[in-house]
């Protein structure tokens, strides 16, 4: 049976209600006790293969109506074994919202915080990073990334100093634009990085040509952003049922279909879909369970999607 995103929100309502009442959703823990993890090549540390992206969806105000669904989402995500939350100071209020919610839930020590710097100049970059510490209510970051290659050399020098001091554990660079891929690859060849972050999905596969193989060759972990093509993938499939052969890689929804395609690439470490509803967190974390598509199946998935567009 194919479950829509709407169906999964309804299914997640029970767990959400439990969170709202202050009860930890034990059912969620039984559903996914051991999500798939992959190692960060530079350290060997394992992280779950599905995280949360916070662009746009976490740029909200202070009202309970705006924040409570996000609070429940983070709680369910953690109950299902998720740890990686990616944010940025340029995502409006997202850092503040994430920091507040995580503090309320008492989850900081259980999570892998990734944020970014996008400023010209050393002093400006340091000031932005300091504000991120304050907004996220933390004294350390697991990962700090130079966003969209803005003043990359200057900011990486700062990040290395912070890494040496123990304030951050990993450093990286990001892009979500194919127009930057040539420059992005040049930085990957020149710099020693722990992580890269790049856009990759069934609707945007160019990163597989050079970026992902280069990351594997250089021993860099890969975070994948925009995994649903900003909604294009869901629009393309519409109300169609999942093909029968999706069961061959334990796929129960279109969201899992799209995420498992990405996770089927061996260079990918973690995918970070925007996740703002508890049911979506449950669905997305389902992609970290069961089998993944092999090379032949991924080709079949590409042909299927291309036939829709």
Tens of pLDDT, residues 273-288 = 999 999 999 999 999 9
Contacts of 12 (CB under 8 A, 6+ apart): 76, 277, 278, 279, 280, 281, 282
**Confidence band of 208 (pLDDT split at 50, 70, 90):** very high
CA pseudo-torsion sign 177, 182, 187, 192: positive
Q: Report the pLDDT value the prediction gives residue 280, as an integer from 0 to 100.
A: 97
Token pair belonging to 250:
């334990």
* Phi, psi of 37, deg, nearest 5: -125, 160
| Look-up of token digits 């052969």 | 245
Position 293 pLDDT exceeds 70 = yes
Token pair belonging to 176:
């979500």
Token pair belonging to 166:
């123990």
Cβ 201 vs Cβ 258: under 8 Å: yes
Give the residue-averaged pLDDT of 244-268. 98
How far is CA 63 from each of CA 13, 57, 60, 68, 235, rounded to the nearest angstrom?
20, 15, 8, 8, 31
Query: 31 or 176: whose pLDDT is higher?
Result: 176
Q: Report the pLDDT value the prediction gives residue 28, as an integer from 0 to 100.
A: 40
- 3 bridge partner residues: 253
**Confidence band of 25 (pLDDT split at 50, 70, 90):** very low
Position 8 pLDDT exceeds 90 = no
**Confidence band of 309 (pLDDT split at 50, 70, 90):** confident
**Confidence band of 34 (pLDDT split at 50, 70, 90):** confident
**Confidence band of 33 (pLDDT split at 50, 70, 90):** low
What top-level class would CATH report for the domain 37-308? Answer: alpha beta
Position 86 pLDDT exceeds 70 = yes
Cβ 149 vs Cβ 173: under 8 Å: yes
Q: Report the pLDDT value the prediction gives residue 260, as an integer from 0 to 100.
A: 98
Q: Report the pLDDT value the prediction gives residue 22, as an integer from 0 to 100.
A: 40
Token pair belonging to 180:
């930057």
Position 107 pLDDT exceeds 90 = yes
Position 243 pLDDT exceeds 80 = yes
- The helix/strand/coil state of 151 is coil
Position 20 pLDDT exceeds 70 = no
Give the residue-averaged pLDDT of 118-139. 98
- 84 bridge partner residues: 112
Mean pLDDT, the chain, whole residue set: 91
Helix 94-105 to helix 122-135 angle (10° resolution) is 40
Give the residue-averaged pLDDT of 209-215. 98
């Amino acid at each position: 049976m194919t479950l829509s995103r709407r169906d999964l929100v309804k299914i997640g309502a029970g767990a959400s209600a439990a969170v709202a009442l202050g009860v930890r959703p034990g059912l969620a823990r039984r559903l996914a006790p051991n999500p798939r993890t992959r190692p960060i090549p530079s350290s060997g540390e394992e992280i779950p293969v599905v995280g949360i992206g916070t662009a746009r969806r976490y740029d909200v105000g202070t009202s309970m109506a705006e924040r409570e669904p996000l609070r429940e989402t983070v709680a369910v995500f953690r109950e299902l074994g998720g740890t990686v939350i990616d944010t940025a100071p340029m995502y409006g209020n997202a850092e503040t919202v994430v920091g507040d919610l995580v503090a309320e839930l008492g989850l900081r020590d259980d999570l892998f915080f990734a944020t970014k710097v996008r400023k010209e100049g050393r002093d400006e970059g340091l000031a932005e990073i300091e504000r991120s510490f304050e907004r996220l209510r933390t004294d350390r970051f697991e990962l700090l990334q130079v966003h969209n290659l803005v003043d990359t050399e200057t900011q990486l020098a700062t990040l290395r100093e912070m890494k040496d001091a123990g304030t951050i554990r990993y450093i990286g660079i990001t892009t979500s634009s194919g127009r930057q891929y040539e420059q992005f690859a040049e930085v990957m060849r020149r710099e020693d990085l722990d992580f890269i972050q790049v856009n990759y999905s069934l609707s945007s596969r160019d990163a597989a040509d050079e970026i992902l193989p280069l990351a594997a060759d250089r021993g860099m972990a890969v975070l994948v952003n925009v995994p649903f093509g900003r909604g294009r993938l869901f629009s393309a499939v519409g109300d169609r049922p999942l093909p029968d052969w999706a069961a061959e890689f334990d796929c129960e929804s279109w969201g899992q279909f799209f995420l498992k395609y990405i996770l089927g690439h061996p260079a990918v470490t973690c995918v970070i879909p925007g996740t703002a509803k508890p049911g979506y967190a449950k669905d997305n974390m389902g992609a970290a369970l069961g089998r993944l598509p092999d090379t032949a199946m991924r080709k079949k998935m590409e042909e299927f999607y291309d036939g829709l567009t």
